[in-house]
Structure formats: C-alpha cells, structure tokens
C-alpha cells in the first residue's frame, strides 16, 4: 500500500509515510472487510458512513503540514483511522463525531495502539470544540458547502483548514484554507466525493 498507493501517487512527507506505516488500517474496519483493508478505496464502517481510502488519508494529512507539536481538531471521527494517523503527527488531537456508536467504536483501536494524545467527543462538529480552542489545524472528513463559522473562529491565526467543500452527493473540491490577518486564503487542490456533514448545517439549509 505504501509504495503503490502513497509514494507512487506523490506522497512525500516522511512523517506522514511513517504514520501510515504505523497505523494498521485493518483495526479500523469491520471484520467482514478486513481482507480489503489495504485496498485503496473507501470501505463501509456502519451507520451509513465510510472509512476514507488510504491515499486520501495520507494526502489530507500531508496538506496539514504538521511538525509534531500542533493542536488539531478533527470533525468526523468515523472509525478513528484518520484520528490515529493525526495522533502520530500532532501534539494533540481533538476529534468530534456526531454518531455515538461510531465514536464509541473508535475508542478501542485507538487505546490498543497506545494513543494518549487523543480526546474524543460526541457532538455536532459544526460547533467545534470551544473549550480547547484555538487550534493550529482543523480537518473535516465530511463535506460542507461552506466553512462553519464556529470552526473559523476557533482556528488560530496562521492556521489551516483542510476540507471537502461543496454540496452533498456531488463532486466536491478538496481545499486548504489558511487564516491570514483573519482572511480566508483558499487553495483548491482536487476533486473528491465525501459523505456530507450532518447536524445543524443540514437543518439550516
């Protein structure tokens, strides 16, 4: 997987590659899909959600430009796979999941791998995690048509957000948004398809 799906497709950050080597994807997928754990494709994890393909996990992690001391907010814990990769790359990871069963399920593999720098919370990611703000970086693993305003407020000056930007059930744009003098500096990187961010953002539409 590392050679075929990551290095061959342009993942260069040595710390990201090491994190992907360390985190066993099979621990984060349901038992019936473990034979496909290292295929470069999303897999179902229950509750209508998926675990992202390894390349996308590595690519989004690389885009965060983490050096090892940062405080990162993840919106959408899912299976906990991306959370685990971030935990190898950052100083602290705060991850929010709106579906209680998924958040609960993610605890076991994260604990088994010995991560002590991760905090999980059940809640609506739209509102972020104000008690632990500001964050150096924010990663959304679900698509939104705009940056939720609470997340923007919780982003440190000079920080960055990586997210799929666009409407649900359509092709979205993967973007990196930097906060400079309070303004959004947006880079559009590639086309992606993610599950939509759920919760208050959908009810407001």
Strand spans (E) along the chain:
43-46, 49-51, 71-75, 92-97, 118-122, 135-140, 155-165, 172-180, 183-192
Q: How far is CA 149 from CA 102, 127, 144, 145, 154, in A?
A: 25, 8, 12, 12, 9
Which candidate, 176, 175, 91, 97, places its Cα nearest to that of 135? 91
CB atoms within 10 A of CB 53: 16
Q: How many CB atoms lie within 10 A of CB 65?
A: 15
Let me know if 52 is a catalytic residue: yes
CA 142 to chain centre: 8
Q: Which two tokens stand for residue 20?
A: 């992907």
Q: How far apart are CA 196 and CA 145, in angstroms?
A: 9
If we measure between CA atoms, which residue out of 202, 205, 192, 23 comes closest to residue 98? 202
CB 17 within 8 A of CB 3: no
Catalytic entry in 35, 36, 52, 144: 52
Residues with a catalytic annotation lie at 52
């Amino acid at each position: 997987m590392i050679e075929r799906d990551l290095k061959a497709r342009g993942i260069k950050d040595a710390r990201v590659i090491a994190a992907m080597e360390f985190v066993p994807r099979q621990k984060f997928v349901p038992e019936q899909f473990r034979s496909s754990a290292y295929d470069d494709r999303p897999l179902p994890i229950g509750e209508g959600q998926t675990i992202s393909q390894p390349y996308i996990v590595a690519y989004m992690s690389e885009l965060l430009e983490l050096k090892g001391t940062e405080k990162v907010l993840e919106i959408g814990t899912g299976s906990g796979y991306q959370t685990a990769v971030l935990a190898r790359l950052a100083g602290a990871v705060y991850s929010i999941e709106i579906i209680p069963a998924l958040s609960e399920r993610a605890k076991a593999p994260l604990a088994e791998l010995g991560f002590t720098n991760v905090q999980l919370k059940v809640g609506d990611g739209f509102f972020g995690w104000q008690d632990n703000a500001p964050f150096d970086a924010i990663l959304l693993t679900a698509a939104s048509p705009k940056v939720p305003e609470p997340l923007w407020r919780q982003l440190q000056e000079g920080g960055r957000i990586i997210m799929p930007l666009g409407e649900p059930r359509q092709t979205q744009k993967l973007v990196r948004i930097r906060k400079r003098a309070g303004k959004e500096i947006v880079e559009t990187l590639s086309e992606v398809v993610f599950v939509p961010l759920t919760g208050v953002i959908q009810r407001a539409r």
